[in-house]
Structure formats: structure tokens, C-alpha cells
Chain A
Amino acid sequence: MSQRKSYAVGTGLFIVLGFAALAYLATQTSSIANSHQGASYRFDAQFANVGQLKERAPVKVAGVRVGQVQSITLEPGKDVADVTLSIDNTYNQIPVDSVATIYTSGLLGDQFVGLQFGKAKQYVADGGHLGLTRPAASLEDMLSKFVGAGGVADAIGGTYAVRADFTNVGALSVGAPVKMAGVAIGSVASIKADPVKLDAVVTLAIDKQYNQIPDDSSVAVFTSGLIGSQYVAIQPGGSPNSLKDGDQLVLTQSAMQLEDLIGKFLVNGSSSGGSSNNAGGNGSPNTPAGKH
């Protein structure tokens, strides 16, 4: 009898332990730990682009979670996304002129909806509607405002060679595209180290149809995308004389680190708009001024 009791107790313990482990997994390590079970109310907001926003993504006010995304559907007949937000009843004082924005947490993190309160005295009610929204800004858009993107030039009709000296070419490789205004106009023909000046001598093969490039243009090594390959960007100068075969570009900017890129974007990218890379004037803060 006592032996029978001992295994019954042991089995009972085992079952309790198993269910306790299950309850722990389900409540402490999963999304349930984030979701509020309390009563909530819903209202919707239309976004031009929801990016990677998912259902059950958090809704935050001042960085504090107040609810979650209930559903994402396409507004019938329009190319706008209808996002239903489910907000805790505790937070029932959201002004009707608040702005809903889709943010990304961190560089590569998940997206969430942020609400910036307006000044209206009226509050959004259950089943209501939030008029002011800002769509998801994709990282690609942000970076492509700063760096150019595009294919490789076809080089039909021959090329002419231009030389540029860099202190550092980063991970630039032979064959990488040469771009102007984001359009590929040639490719890197060779990369050698100068034995005397101890810098990198890069020969650019530029398509002959682009023979109107000012000879005081500056040249820089950029990265396409976040972890993309590197390419050479030419930023036209103001000189009346054009580049000829065998010329050298004096104004060069070496390869930058991703951290620098993002830092630059954070500091002045938004104010310089989409033209920071392609700015013609030398006064632009992003235009390289000689060798680094």
C-alpha cells in the first residue's frame, strides 16, 4: 500500500510539474506576457502603407504600450490599409486629432504604431476613427535618400578611364558600379595601391556617352543598402570643362562605415531631403570636401 502511495504521489508531482512548465512557457515566454487581457475599445486608422506591421503589434503612446493592432485589412476599392487598433479601456482619453505613425523599433526590429496626442478636447470613442496618420517609412527609403541605387551600366559604345585616389576603398571591388545621380554610368576597372603615396588608386571606366561630367566633380565610395555591396558615386561639380580619358578626380571621399552613414542621416538627412547624395552644390553638408 505504501509503495502504491509513493508512486501515486510521484506521478501526481510529475503531472503537476509538467502542467506548471506548460503554464510557465505559455504565460511567461510567449506573447501572452505582453498582451493585456483587460477590456479594450477599438477604433481604426487608414495608412497609405503599413510596411511590415503585423496583427497584434503593440500600440504605444510615449513608448508605453497601450494596446495592440487588432486587424489590418485593405480599404475596399482604395489602395490604403485599414488598421483597427484595440486600446485598453484604461487609456480612453486619446484626443481625436492624435497622429498615428508606424515606427520601427531599432534598426531591424518589428514595427509598431505610435500615437502622438493632439490638443483636441474630444476623445476617440469605441468604433471611432483616427484621421491623421503617417505611413511606415521603410529603412530602404531612408537609406536610398542618402545613397543611390541602381544597376550596372551596359558600357555599350566604349568607355574612358578616369583615375581617383582614395585613402580607403573599404570593400570596393573591381567591377563595382560607378553611379551619378543614382544611375550607373560605368564600373570600377582596377584598384591598386600606390607604392609611394600609400593610398588606393582606383581606375573608373565610364561610359563614353557620359562625356559631359565636370572635371571638378567629387567622387566617393558608398554602400548600397544596409549590408549591400559598395559602389563609387560621382557628384558633379561646377566646372565648364569636362572629364577626359586619363584625367584624375582630385576630390575624393573614402569608404564610410555604416555607423557614419546612419549618423549623418540622423543629423541632417531629413532636412536635406532626397537629394543629399546627388546635391550638385559644394555647399551641401554631405558633399565631400576633399580627402578624408
Chain B
Amino acid sequence: MSAQTQYNNLVLQTLAQIGRCGLFLLQILAAIPLSLRHVRETLRQLWFVGAMSLTIIMTCGLFVGMVLGLQLYHVLAIFGGSSATGSVVALSIYRELGPVVTALLFAGRAGTSITAEIGLMRATDQIAAMEMMAVDPIAYVAAPRFLAGLIAMPLLCCVFCAMGIFGGHLVGVNWLGIDNGTFWSNMTATVDVWQDIINGVLWKSTAFGAVVALIAVFQGYTTPPTSEGVAYATTRTVVASSIAILALDFVLTAFLM
């Protein structure tokens, strides 16, 4: 009986959490016009979540592209098709690896710090103070960070993809000796702007950016105002974002294909 009750509670709590998250999203969307007055704050957040994440995104993109080039070259060589390395590297980065790995890194690098920052604001009553001063904390704290995440993710993803292509080119052409012209012509022959770059890179990464930013802001905003609560909220941001990214990736791929 008690196990049944616990189970029911868990289901209800999860449902309530999802519901709160959805309502929170509506609040943020409603507060976006108001937050445009704090455009400097949005810019500062964009600097923090976007520009400061460039190092990790570029490094990881380079290595992902390099390892793809290395692996694919040897597998494709079995079929005598190692000249197709360029196109397979580009397609796998554009369609899956670019958006997904960027989003996972983004959740780890930017999402956690958003959660921790807002969580500490909550714990130290800064948010309550804003409400007292008639400053809408959703418009001043939550919406700029959400917007920044939404804008930064596609840009970061493009940088990731470009570095990945560069890494694949470095390994495939410079080290393993695929012909430079073959590498590029195979790639340009198979990559479709609409299907792969607009749908694959841009839409996916924008959706992931929205999801990661929403989860990070929501977890920070609703954290219990204790140091333990902030720690849990930060962990939950990573876990929930990762699950949401991978699940959403499947759904988006199924829809966009």
C-alpha cells in the first residue's frame, strides 16, 4: 500500500514538475517583450553562455571531427570507399553529432552555471528582493538567460560543425592522404543545404538550446533555497537536459527527415 502511494506520489510529482516547467515557459515567453528593456542583460548572458563556451565547443568539435575522420577512413577503406570520408563526416556531424554533442556540452558548461547562479540568487533572497522592488524577476533574470541560450546554441553548433569538418579534413586529407579535391567534392555533392544544414544544424540546435536553457532556468528558479538544494538543482539540470536532448533528437529527426 505504501509502495503504491509512493509510486503515485512520484508520478504525480513528475507530472506536476512538467506542468510547472510548461507554465514557466509561458511566463518567460510572456515576459520576453518586457525583458527587451534589459537588452544589455541579455547581451551579458549571451557573452557568458555563448562566447565563454567557445573554447570547449571548438576543442570538442575539432576532436570529434578528427576521430570521425580516422574511424570512417578505415571502415570505408574495407569497401574501397575511403574517398567518401568527407561526405560521411559532414553528414554525421550535421545531422546528429553537431547538434547533440554541442547541446550536451552546452548543458554541462552553460546550463549548470545558469542553474547555480539563479539558485544562489534564490537562496540569498535576491529574487525576493527584486519582487519587493517591483522588478519582475522573470523578465530580468529568467528571460534574458533563456533568450541567450536560444540564440547561443545554433551559433555554437555552427562553430562546432565547422571545427568538426576542419578536424575531419585534417585527419582525412593531411594525415591519411585522401585527395583534397575528392574530399570536398564528395562532401558538396551529398550535403544538402535545406535538409542537412537548415533542418539538421539550425533547427535542431535551436530546439536543443530552448530546451537546455528552459530546464536550466527552471531548475534554478524553483530550487529549494539551501546550498543542498542548489547542488541538487545543478545535477538535475544536467540529467534532465541530457535526457531531453536525446529524446527530442529522436523526435526531431523523425519529423525533419
Contacts and interface: CB of A to CB of B under 8 A. Distances in A.
A25 interface: yes
A19 interface: yes
A30 B188 contact: yes
A14 interface: yes
Contacts of B159: 17-18, 21
Interface stretch (A4-12, A159-167, A208-216, A269-277): A4-12
Q: Majority SS of interface residues in chain A?
A: helix
Contacts of A26: 193, 197
- The listed residue with most A CB atoms (<10 A of its CB), out of B54, B152, B190, B197, is B197
B46 to A, nearest CB: 5
A21 B156 CA distance: 9
A223 to B, nearest CB: 16
B120 interface: no
> Interface residue tally of chain B, by bracket?
20 to 34
Given A11-B43, A24-B162, A31 B155 contact: no
A62 to B, nearest CB: 17
Interface in A21-44: 21-22, 24-26, 28-34
B16 interface: no
Contacts of A14: 46-47, 50-51, 54, 152, 155
Contacts, number: 87
Interface in A89-113: 108, 110
A110 B189 contact: yes
A289 interface: no
B188 A25 contact: no
A7 B155 CA distance: 17
Nearest to A14: B51
B188 A31 contact: yes
Contact of A21 (B161, B189, B191): B161
B214 interface: no
A110 B201 CA distance: 24
Contacts of B190: 31
A59 to B, nearest CB: 14
Contacts of A110: 189
A13 interface: yes
Contacts of A32: 193
Interface in B170-193: 184, 187-193
Contacts of B47: 7-8, 10-11, 14
Nearest to B44: A7
B188 A21 contact: no
Given A17-B159, A25-B161, A25-B162, A30 B191 contact: yes
A22 B158 contact: yes
A24 B202 CA distance: 14
Interface string B177-221: 000000010011111110011000110000000000000000000
Given A25-B201, A31-B193, A33-B188, 13 more contacts: A11-B46, A14-B47, A14-B155, A18-B158, A21-B161, A22-B201, A25-B94, A25-B158, A29-B90, A29-B191, A30-B188, A30-B197, A110-B189
Q: What 6 A-B pairs are tightest by C-beta distance, nearest first?
A: A18-B155, A14-B51, A21-B158, A21-B162, A7-B47, A22-B158
23 contacts: A7-B44, A7-B47, A10-B47, A11-B43, A11-B46, A13-B51, A14-B47, A14-B152, A14-B155, A18-B154, A18-B158, A21-B155, A22-B154, A22-B202, A24-B162, A25-B158, A25-B197, A29-B90, A29-B184, A29-B188, A29-B191, A31-B192, A32-B193
